[in-house]
Amino acid sequence: MILHDLHVHSIQSACGLHTVLEIVDIAAAKGVKTVNICDHGEASGRKVNFGVFVDKRRFPREVRSRSGKSVTILGGIEVNILDEQGNSDLPKKYFSLFDLISAGFHPLTVPLPSAVRNTRALENYLKHSPLDILTHPCIRSAPLDIDRIVDLSLEYGFALEVNNTNLRLGKTDHEQILRMIDIASTRGARLVENSDGHTFAEIGENDKIEELLAYAGCAGSALFLNRDETRLTAFLKERKNLRLPD
Ligand SMILES: [Zn+2]
Ligand SMILES: [Zn+2]
């Protein structure tokens, strides 16, 4: 189980099946303590305007499940990088609203056919836009230059994701992800484990990540920053402070 799952989609994404309150109940029943609601940017079907959900005056951070357990809800987004120039579907005026800004490459938006071009798109995005988590960097449909991504992660401080649902659905390049974990852990780049849950069966699950780690012979607890509440809290604070409005 993932104690702090930083990548879950609600019905505000075209692909998510549950409301935020249903996700709270699902998470509480599984023992998940934190969920980052990470709905897609507009280019891949976000359904509502950004403001209401990420406004803490309107949607509190701590939400009680029907069983009485409290779950921390973070307001996130999974931004689409749209082209090689690094343009995205996250307008600048929203940068400071989110607890976490994740970004990834998705078939509906970019799919640049080469690792060189996708990596250039990410480099250009980083020149003008914030990034806290790079989602599914080893997805086969959008290859990236893994060595360069680890360099960028160290330079900009964003975390590299290991994505349970993509592993389960066979979307991940196994060789690349093992290489990414190896290089990132050796060089001290940040790694997170996330479910990318769209359904109750996926939220909070890390069974395929555990299998991968066992195969690679690595210990997960020190590997992923979201297995440690203190590290996660420091990461959230650092990232939020980077984009406080002037
Ligand atoms: Zn994604
Ligand atoms: Zn996602």
- Residues having C-beta closer than 5 Å to ion ligand 2: 78, 196
Question: How far does residue 184's CA lie from ligand 2's centre (Å)?
Answer: 21
Query: Domain boundaries in the chain?
Result: 4-242
Question: How far does residue 15's CA lie from ligand 2's centre (Å)?
Answer: 9
Q: Which of 218, 207, 199 is nearest to 1 (CA)?
A: 207
The angle at the Cα of 57, spanning 96 to 203, to the nearest 5 degrees, equals 75
> What b/e readout covers 190-216, taking b as 16+ CB neighbours within 10 angstroms?
bbbbbbbbbebebbbbbebbeebbeee
At 135, list the tokens. Answer: 């989602």
> Which three-class secondary structure string do you get for the chain?
CCCEEEEECCCCCCCCCCCHHHHHHHHHHHCCCEEEEEEECHHHCCCCCCHHHHCCCCCCCEEECCCCCEEEEEEEEEEEECCCCCCECCCHHHHHHCCEEEEECCCCCCCCCCHHHHHHHHHHHHHHCCCCEECCCCECCCCCCHHHHHHHHHHHCCEEEEEHHHHHCCCECHHHHHHHHHHHHHHCCCEEEECCECCCCCCCCCHHHHHHHHHHCCCHHHHEHHHCHHHHHHHHHHHHHHCCCC
Q: Which of 236, 161, 154, 218 is nearest to 191 (CA)?
A: 161
Question: How far does residue 105's CA lie from ligand 1's centre (Å)?
Answer: 7
Q: Class of the 4-242 domain?
A: alpha beta
Question: How far does residue 234's CA lie from ligand 2's centre (Å)?
Answer: 23
Q: What is the pLDDT along the chain (246 residues), one digit of tens a residue?
A: 999 999 999 999 888 999 999 999 999 999 999 999 999 988 877 766 677 778 888 889 999 999 999 999 999 999 999 999 999 998 888 888 899 999 999 876 665 678 999 999 999 999 999 999 999 999 999 999 999 999 999 999 999 999 999 999 999 999 999 999 999 999 999 999 999 999 999 999 999 999 999 999 987 788 999 999 999 999 999 999 998 766
* Cα-to-chain-centroid distance, residue 221: 18
Q: What's the confidence (pLDDT) of residue 86?
A: 93
Which position has the token pair 């019905």?
A: 11
Q: What's the confidence (pLDDT) of residue 111?
A: 59
Q: What's the confidence (pLDDT) of residue 243?
A: 86
Q: What's the confidence (pLDDT) of residue 218?
A: 86
Nearest ligand to the C-alpha of residue 80?
Answer: 1
Q: What's the confidence (pLDDT) of residue 49?
A: 66
Question: How far does residue 198's CA lie from ligand 1's centre (Å)?
Answer: 11
Question: How far does residue 208's CA lie from ligand 1's centre (Å)?
Answer: 17
